[in-house]
Structure 1
């Protein structure tokens, strides 16, 4: 239920789906895994917990006897009714403003045209009450696919994109800079194709691409617009108010070029030609560039916004294959390289420069047709990623990494869950997570895995337990330690949300009917071991609510940790360029195709030779001392071979005899002409 967090949109098909709303404290999600505390054979008791924000308390701030959870929720539940519609969109306007906008839309396709209707509602008390404000947008139909564009952070800015009929030459937007109290109607000289893009540095600067692929920019929050370039496929804001975009080149040859403007379209600088796609991830700017034969592509990486580029040390891909950046941070990049028409590929992870890559995971599930992958960045704990691999029999299996892709393992079977009936070996059955691939296959999975940065260690997801992902109705599983252990908490598909910084889990059962704190060590698996909790070279200790607490963290809650450095072990290293780890093994082996060959790299245009024992430190790892495998990149003091120059030299060398022959023929012809002119034209003089 991303709608309960700022910037997310919840769309419910109200005509076909009916939801039963249920709120659960984290330890009350399933009576089979309850954490109610019992002593002897007596009745269950609930622990008292501090937190006067939730319950009426005494003057000293301690809690009075707890009410039943249902009574608490009934007291603080405020129902809202909206007009019947086919879709409903809900957004927060600012993190702490209390402002919520709800847009309901109804569209009825007729024989030639279609009839559409929108209604807009606003709440300024965190959703307790709503007021209809449709008259502020003059009853205009707001586009459902990207109708509500919110400004960054707490800017209070909202842009609503309307749909204008009657053969209008342009579109219409409604602009608000006061948290949707008032709107200003503005006519556009074009029809928008994609959502409005705000500059992260100045929310008054906007970008829009028209249906005719024109790039328009506004520097006064949409009041006036300027066309700065035509034939633009994609555009992104960069730092210092620069705009990076991909444009068609005119002419008979189909080609794309990547340009940048630092002065709002006055001048342009070409960054790369023959660009297939590009993207900006943190400090890394990546471009997929077609080679001269137009049959293969390579990845180019820049850390200075396109001033200099390096070729990523990755396999080239053909027109039938693709690259995909799965995730990136300031330390490293995850890139999927398609293996061909197999539905899977290989994940590579970069060094801290984004240039040298090594294998992280083979047979990574990534469909070619729809582009679905289960790759999930667990934002509630550093370094944790979950994804799926494709078995030789086309079965789907879930794997998890706790060290940014250095090593992948199967997800441990929950203690309160049984292996399904299709399991062949109970010793090998594990938890498998339903992600985007399951959703694309129309399984009963309403949401992919969910985590929140401020809910430390919490992951909630649909899954099944067995040899592989099951097509049967899934259960809901929860981990509160970043994926090391899981519990089954609900049967059947549910919508869910993580509230109050992890202090409360909300679940919504989907029915297909007609209309306290504790000191917690992250990554802890063996409390007796000295290195327990050491991942990426350090330990992190957090304070968070006890499972049985019904107190609130509150809106001002900030996650704080106590980092502690660890001694280096092999777990702090990933396989180096030319090496890989087999599944469930910790040692790195040399890739067969590199055996017996020197490892040569091209870095910043200079050829370098790599001497390695097969390991390189994981980017972002902060360990000290301990194991330190030797690794050296030696500058060969020569430029990298350039394919174009090499071809030109080869062509020049092969054409020397031809050139000499042509020169000889010309000399003979000139001499013969001179002789004829001298003898017959000039009378022999």
Structure 2
């Protein structure tokens, strides 16, 4: 059954900043934009082999692949767009495995300057090798960058473009249900503020906001619209007088009726099955978190510190069973504390102190590693004000620093690897890409990093981990753009440079050895790399422009002919995840079970294929102290397994309110002051400040 439930934050003022409380990563389905000028025994054997090969990289022991030039030269396609490089390009893949890529030229200039301009639309059916100019399908309409291309999340081929129509002074919707092959249009009865939003459960149902704070809904894929509410907020940035005076309302019948489920609301977010609302306490500017697991019918007070108007809460990650919550420290310190919840979302354990989350840069390095269960990375600010990367392998129960890569030249005992993420980009360091991992490329992580006693200000290098962050390898010198193809069977990278480039690098052994291919004789000012989402494709598109800066150029390289055979059973080996001590009987046991995967051998040069599926075996195992989160009122210091009582909680009864009743917290485990962590995998949530 399709859910018709919507949660809306309603108030008396409205901000023109769409998606206002989102911080950090953007929407997963948001189209990519390019700017002109933008900058077991077998397991033990594999680890030993990796160590030897890693140490020998500087000795040039990698063997060249035969026939690279011939295989790739005949599968490299160049397309030059007729439009100039002013404005930006929005790229959007339509469907899963369809090969359809839409490219739209958009603009961020005042409308009066572009009243008689137009956007250009191009369509490819072969993964970006060739394009057709289909601008006539949108009647040469001008489309603003903030509207871009709206692709339905159900992979059904639905596409929406929102255009400004100069001759009528209004807005027109262009709708496609056949992967952008054809479009039908209709004029809108309002001026939209944000891109059209799909209901994930029924993509024929759309929602959007107008510039006059009205909420509009369509149940027939945008053909007809009706206004369902006034005074709707997406952001509080310009509503200072009304913070804490808002109401949270819910509709379960697509806006035909509304129910008020919370008052004195400062803000709210959804995370998994939880609804979190930041509620004013009535004591000055203090507010606290209330949580509901039934859509707002019943609320409980979360056991988290209160914050004032200078502080914030932020959901870092969420799923159906638990939440990672950042609570900002008082003052302008730029740090806070990460708490993890129980499965009720009410009782929280202190997970990590001095977590770096700047209010000025509004960015955090918190990264969910998609390639291995339970793994997260982030940065802390040490007592001597150095930025340091820490990692957890058990959903926040214990954090530790990263060890230096085995093939690095740093030999001091305090030498560690620091991973560059959002904070580094905020500080305008030379970091063109954030850490990258994919669920179907088990254990694999690519990231920019620096090795030293603290964060190095020098140009970072690219590091690779093939075991979910336990060990790291220096893979490429200097900053690069990179992508995972063929479920990890192929990695590609492009040097990040201000000069024109003509060389792409690729690896068939998870980043241990890299090969090069000259994809053009006419170097390109490189703007970005793009491949189909899901990391199953064998095609990568390189975008940029020539020396005359006049027109966009895309060069697509198809690596399928390089891998001359399909992978077979003999190409895969068993690999035990989280293996740190192969001689121990409990090796690989995390959160109550072991996971053994079938992974591609590093010396196998073959094609996993689009239908490749991760194969794993689960084995229950005894829990250890590291499988437990510290109880409320206790915390585990970094690099320690012991739960220590928080200073501010000493002598206080450990009570909390649940369903209107005061409950006493009890420790009922063999491990003092701790409780078992939820077992399920957490997926990353957009960083949402509340």
Q: CA deviation at 1:265?
A: 1.3
Match of 1:279 in 2: 269
The answer as to 2:32 corresponding to 1:10 is yes
**1:106–1:247 CA distance, 2 compared to 1 (3 A):** closer
**1:293–1:440 CA distance, 2 compared to 1 (3 A):** same
Q: How does 1:25-424 map to 2 (within 5 A)?
A: 33=54, 67-83=66-82, 84-86=84-86, 87-105=88-106, 116-165=117-166, 168=169, 170-234=170-234, 255-340=245-330, 341-419=332-410
Q: After alignment, is 130-139 or 86-95 more displaced?
A: 86-95
Q: CA RMSD in A?
A: 2.9
Task: Pick the aligned partner of 2:486 from 483, 500, 506.
Answer: 500
Q: CA deviation at 1:566?
A: 0.9
Q: After alignment, is 573-582 or 139-148 more displaced?
A: 139-148
2:589, 2:623 within 8 Å by CA — same for their partners in 1? no
Q: CA deviation at 1:201?
A: 1.1
The answer as to 2:618 corresponding to 1:559 is no
2:54, 2:406 within 8 Å by CA — same for their partners in 1? no
Deviations 1:274-312 (A, max 9, x none): 212211111111111112235111111111111111110
CA distance in 2, matches of 1:35, 1:555: 33
**1:167–1:467 CA distance, 2 compared to 1 (3 A):** farther
Match of 1:619 in 2: 678
Match of 1:23 in 2: none
**1:45–1:488 CA distance, 2 compared to 1 (3 A):** closer
1:176, 1:182 within 8 Å by CA — same for their partners in 2? yes
Helix, strand or coil at the partner of 2:352: strand
Task: Pick the aligned partner of 1:575 from 630, 635, 643.
Answer: 630
Q: CA deviation at 1:598?
A: 2.3
Q: CA deviation at 1:426?
A: 1.5
Task: Pick the aligned partner of 1:435 from 402, 409, 421.
Answer: 421
Flag the structure with more relative contact order, 1 or 2, with Cα contacts below 8 A and sequence separation at least 6: 2
Q: How does 1:625-636 map to 2 (within 5 A)?
A: none
Deviations 1:625-678 (A, max 9, x none): xxxxxxxxxxxxxxxxxxxxxxxxxxxxxxxxxxxxxxxxxxxxxxxxxxxxxx
**1:6–1:70 CA distance, 2 compared to 1 (3 A):** farther
**1:8–1:265 CA distance, 2 compared to 1 (3 A):** closer
Q: CA deviation at 1:91?
A: 1.4
Gaps of 5+ in 1: 18-28, 47-65, 236-245, 420-424, 623-685
CA distance in 2, matches of 1:363, 1:500: 38
Q: How does 1:500-649 map to 2 (within 5 A)?
A: 500-513=486-499, 515=547, 516-612=571-667, 613-620=672-679
**1:71–1:106 CA distance, 2 compared to 1 (3 A):** farther
1:160, 1:175 within 8 Å by CA — same for their partners in 2? yes
Helix, strand or coil at the partner of 2:233: strand
2:313, 2:326 within 8 Å by CA — same for their partners in 1? yes
Deviations 1:361-407 (A, max 9, x none): 00000011231100001111110000000123322110000000000
1:373, 1:437 within 8 Å by CA — same for their partners in 2? yes
Helix, strand or coil at the partner of 1:136: helix
Q: CA deviation at 1:615?
A: 0.6
CA distance in 1, matches of 2:301, 2:309: 18
How many residues were matched structurally?
A: 566
Q: How does 1:647-662 map to 2 (within 5 A)?
A: none
CA distance in 2, matches of 1:160, 1:213: 21
**1:580–1:552 CA distance, 2 compared to 1 (3 A):** same
CA distance in 2, matches of 1:616, 1:576: 6
Deviations 1:521-557 (A, max 9, x none): 1111221111111111111111122223332221122
CA distance in 1, matches of 2:576, 2:81: 45
Query: Which one has the largest radius of gyration?
Result: 1
2:99, 2:126 within 8 Å by CA — same for their partners in 1? yes
CA distance in 2, matches of 1:97, 1:32: 39
**1:287–1:172 CA distance, 2 compared to 1 (3 A):** same
Q: How does 1:403-482 map to 2 (within 5 A)?
A: 403-419=394-410, 426-482=412-468
1:147, 1:162 within 8 Å by CA — same for their partners in 2? no
CA distance in 2, matches of 1:314, 1:277: 16
Match of 2:534 in 1: none
TM-score, length-scaled by structure 2: 0.77
Deviations 1:21-67 (A, max 9, x none): xxxxxxxx9x994999x9xx9x9768xxxxxxxxxxxxxxxxxxx74
Helix, strand or coil at the partner of 2:626: helix
1:14, 1:85 within 8 Å by CA — same for their partners in 2? yes
Q: CA deviation at 1:15?
A: 3.7
Q: CA deviation at 1:596?
A: 2.7
2:352, 2:399 within 8 Å by CA — same for their partners in 1? yes
CA distance in 1, matches of 2:320, 2:488: 26
Gaps of 5+ in 2: 1-26, 40-49, 500-524, 526-546, 548-570, 682-690
Q: CA deviation at 1:108?
A: 6.5
CA distance in 1, matches of 2:134, 2:452: 51
CA distance in 2, matches of 1:534, 1:560: 18
Q: CA deviation at 1:267?
A: 0.7
CA distance in 2, matches of 1:80, 1:112: 29
Q: CA deviation at 1:79?
A: 2.4
TM-score, length-scaled by structure 1: 0.78
CA distance in 2, matches of 1:289, 1:499: 45
